[in-house]
Amino acid sequence: MQAIDRRPVVVVVIVIGGAMALSQSAQLGLATALFGVLSFVLAILAELNKVPPFGTPILGRDVVVCRFPRDPTVALGALSALAAACSAGLGALAVFFPYGGRRIPRETLLGHTPLYAFFHIAVGVTVAGAGTTVWATAAEAMHHARNVHRDLAYACPTAETTTGVFGGAAFLNLDAMLFWIVCHMLACNVREDYFDDDAAHGGAGAGIEGK
């Protein structure tokens, strides 16, 4: 009998064990970064996997039916938008999550000017990136769905309006992830200062329940 190679299993166990050993804060930060990078990669692939400039026109009765080669652009765009939304959701959760059951008032977090500024920038860039990704994906899908044209001279061009859009959306999604990571780091600093001040004033446990 051939010996079973257990090295992949060992690697998986080590990776899972390492992830479980991380703190809740590190886990949320890592998840935010991973989904942000995934969104970036998927959008770049959607940009690079565009179909040829023209499809195949098929003449019918008073119409031209465009047949385009299959490409994963729409699926990649949808997955990229979903990953960007997950990254933003995890980023926001990382900011407000009550680590160890110790809550901090929201007004205290957002009362910190740098965090307040970066939080709103992160939201804005997220909306821009995810919105651009969704728009480009929808435009590609509609272009493939509406493939019957009455102009007999129609040459069946691909969706030229989305050229370069997925690439731009990819970098917006990556920027959004970086802003969420900055927000997470600033929130950790505010949290530490809040509980340090609370302990210095003898308020043991005052931060456990939201004020």
CA angle 80, 116, 178 (to 5 degrees): 30
The reported pLDDT for the residue numbered 5 is 53
99-120, pLDDT tens digit by residue?
888 888 888 888 999 999 999 9
Q: Is the pLDDT of residue 4 over 80?
A: no
Q: What is the value of pTM for the model shown?
A: 0.76
